[in-house]
Amino acid sequence: PQQIWFQQGLLSKEEVRISPDDRGYYFGDGIYEVFRVYHGRLFEADAHFDRLERTAAALRIPLPLPREAMTAKLRELIAANELQTGTVYMQITRGEAPRSHPFPADAAPVLFASASEYGRPLASMQQGISAVTAEDIRWLRCDLKTLNLLPNVLAKQEALDRGADEVILHRSGTVTECSASNVMIVRDGAVCTHPANHLILHGITRLVVLRLARELGIPVIEEPFTIDMLREADEAFITGTTVEVTPIVRIDDAPVAQGIPGPVTRRLQAAFELLIG
Ligand code: PDD
């Protein structure tokens, strides 16, 4: 049976009991991370913990353990589930208390983490995906990785209902990111993406891909760009823990350039592949 890290230790999934009074249910009052596992090892664990600690501090949720202890526990979880290629989902809520908006005086954070098999998305990375555009209706702290994902869920479902694979969000015409990934375009040989401010999640894959681009001598421009620039881009792709580097080949029923993955995207995919080994 699947082993879950719940509070102090590993339990089988059936043994985990979460209270209806958990503030995660009432208020979405919690934070999370999705880690990648390749070859049975955590990928970029420290960058994920940097982000988790930033989010926890901003929400004033105390983390139950220092990152070294959490990392050790995640390794135990991965080993117990014999996971090779997959993801680890970790969630920490403010804790359990009768429903009332103020922080409870004595709540202890509730943590669980689960490890799941999740293959690399080889087909979509090879062929590319389609996307539609939609207004970004989220709050103004999209840099925090909180449980409040309803706008992301609704936007993603609308994309699927419209026959597309993903949704590209924009604020009054300025492209921000996608439902669970960051978005980049290639213009005149340069990789362009929204700056890492309060309007996007600071993706770990985004960070890795921009580093790889610089190493390859590809110019990187971290500035906002418009929907029109997106439509006229030479290439477009998304980055994320689950999607790696996936080309976008159609946007709102029009092809991106020739409608096939472009050469800069391919170079970044190859560099990423080399990195994960
Ligand atoms: N999503 N933007 C949003 C809104 C995200 O939810 C994610 C990650 C990203 C990419 O970040 P990273 O490269 O660190 O995975 C960008 C995770 C995978 C999820 O919610 O499932």
Query: Within this chain, do residues 78 and 215 fall inside the same structural domain, yes or no?
Result: no
**pLDDT for 103:** 98
CA angle 27, 206, 200 (to 5 degrees): 40
Question: Are residues 115 and 83 in contact, defined by beta-carbon separation less than 8 angstroms?
Answer: yes
Query: Within this chain, do residues 155 and 233 fall inside the same structural domain, yes or no?
Result: yes
Query: Within this chain, do residues 129 and 221 fall inside the same structural domain, yes or no?
Result: yes
Q: What is the CA(233)–ligand 1 centre distance, in A?
A: 23
Q: Strand, coil or helix: what is 273?
A: helix
| pLDDT tens string 238-250 | 999 999 999 999 9
Query: Within this chain, do residues 84 and 137 fall inside the same structural domain, yes or no?
Result: no
Query: Within this chain, do residues 59 and 170 fall inside the same structural domain, yes or no?
Result: no
Q: What is the pTM of this model?
A: 0.98
Helix 67-80 vs helix 45-59: angle between axes, to the nearest 10 degrees?
120
ipTM above 0.85, yes or no: yes
How many structural domains are present in the chain? 2
Q: What is the CATH number of the domain that holds 169?
A: 3.20.10.10
Q: What is the CA(43)–ligand 1 centre distance, in A?
A: 14
**pLDDT for 273:** 98
d(C-alpha 13, C-alpha 7), whole Å = 13
Query: In the chain, which stretches have pLDDT less than 50?
Result: none
**pLDDT for 36:** 98
- Nearest residue to 243 (alpha-carbon basis) of 181, 167, 192: 181
Query: Within this chain, do residues 146 and 226 fall inside the same structural domain, yes or no?
Result: yes
Query: Within this chain, do residues 7 and 90 fall inside the same structural domain, yes or no?
Result: yes
Domain boundary residue, one of 117, 146, 175: 117
Burial grade of 150 (CB within 10 A; 0-12, 13-18, 19 or more): exposed
Domain boundary residue, one of 117, 141, 168: 117
Q: What is the CATH number of the domain that holds 83?
A: 3.30.470.10
Query: Within this chain, do residues 148 and 240 fall inside the same structural domain, yes or no?
Result: yes
Question: Are residues 199 and 176 in contact, defined by beta-carbon separation less than 8 angstroms?
Answer: yes
Q: Which domain holds residue 211?
A: 122-276
DSSP state of 13: G
Query: Within this chain, do residues 143 and 220 fall inside the same structural domain, yes or no?
Result: yes
Query: Within this chain, do residues 156 and 241 fall inside the same structural domain, yes or no?
Result: yes
Domain boundary residue, one of 117, 145, 179: 117
Query: Within this chain, do residues 250 and 132 fall inside the same structural domain, yes or no?
Result: yes
> Which protein residues touch ligand 1 with a CB less than 6 Å away?
34, 152, 177, 180-182, 201, 203-206, 239-242
Q: Whose CA is nearest to atom 1 of ligand 1?
A: 180
Query: Within this chain, do residues 36 and 173 fall inside the same structural domain, yes or no?
Result: no
Question: Are residues 63 and 52 in contact, defined by beta-carbon separation less than 8 angstroms?
Answer: yes
**pLDDT for 1:** 85
Q: What is the CA(204)–ligand 1 centre distance, in A?
A: 8
